Chain A
Amino acid sequence: MASLKELKDRIGSVKSTQKITKAKQMVAAAKLRKAQAAAEAARPYASRLASVMAALASKVSGDDAPKLLSGTGSDKRHLLVVANSDKGLAGAFNANIVRAALVKARALQAEGKDVEFYLIGKKGRAPIKRAFPNNVGTMFDTTQVREPGYGEAERVSEELVEMYEAGKFDVAHLFFSRFKSALTQEPTEQQIIPVPAPDIAPVETGAVVEYEPGEEEILEALLPRYLKTQIFGALLENNASEQGASMTAMDNATRNAGELIDKLTIQYNRSRQAAITTELIEIIAGAEAL
């Protein structure tokens, strides 16, 4: 049986932990609102770009199509781009993304393909390095910025295009967490290179659209931009997911701490009562003996 003082200290420590988890929960709730608004604001650009892409991709095909669209003609070397966060305290958020990426990597290796990782964010590094010590290529650092934004998406996609053009890989997959609600986030895999044509039916206006310079030139300028938007969208979704997961995890932690405090308080009161009772018995026994 723990002594009274030990119990009291224990209750105090759990209380201060509860304060931290509660604060983190509220911070996550506020950030979630902001992240959702940012994801919302990015939608007009993404949807317009996708519809233009769809219109152009259906026109330019065959041998004229840029390499980013048509692929290198092989699918031997795969690059897995894994987007994680830099901070923990978000439940299984990072673990879920990493797991999805590892499953895919093993499946690809079983098919005899080469696998390389491109890691965004800090939290995915350790588990992926443990599982694939020789396959981790680039690690993109996002610790310098508070939230990954368009600038980061730009740098990542420029680096990817460079690597692609240098012939370092044939297919790139992007792993991130799609935001469904504060309670559910879905680890998602998406092929980003070669760029899959958006599956929206091009709007038939009847009128002939004029292109300046030509259709191919526009498409060529458009593809890297489309890639950036895809990565940017993934980073935004990831950010919202992280905050959602963090909020849920911290809510659970706060509740668990509350339960633990209740349990410890009961134990504390019981042992205090036991001590008083023992003391009384001693006094009475002493009085009787006189």
Chain B
Amino acid sequence: MPLHFELVTPARLVRSEDVHMVVVPGTEGEFGVLEGHAPFMSTIRDGAVQVYKTEGSAPELIEVRGGFAEVGDSGLTVLAEHVDGD
């Protein structure tokens, strides 16, 4: 089952796709989100969000700064103030 992952900055919607797993750098430690994760909200520290497109594939790294992550029924949403390359 895929996880719906969205990465949003104030300027635009950076990502909106279905992936296998995302590892988010939370303030109190990294956490991985798979499909069906319980509702959860956390602030994030500056670091890389690791996106695993499929099981076992090499992760894609997206550097983010300042923001928070929200897991709900619709999947994972990362609201970041800055994304690398912006």
Contact = CB atoms under 8 A, between A and B. Distances in A.
A218 B11 CA distance: 22
Interface size class of B (residues with CB under 8 A): 20 to 34
Chain A interface secondary structure, helix, strand, loop or mixed? helix
B11 to A, nearest CB: 6
Interface in A145-165: 149-150, 153-154
B22 interface: no
A209 B77 CA distance: 14
A211 B42 CA distance: 6
Nearest to A46: B10
A154 B65 CA distance: 14
Contacts of B8: 44-45, 48
Contacts of A52: 41, 68, 70, 79
Contact of B11 (A38, A205, A211, A222): A38
B81 interface: yes
Interface residues of A, number: 29
Interface of B: 6, 8-13, 26-28, 38-43, 66-68, 70, 72-73, 77, 79, 81
Interface of A: 38, 41-42, 44-46, 48-49, 52, 149-150, 153-154, 205, 207-213, 217-218, 221-222, 225, 228-229, 232
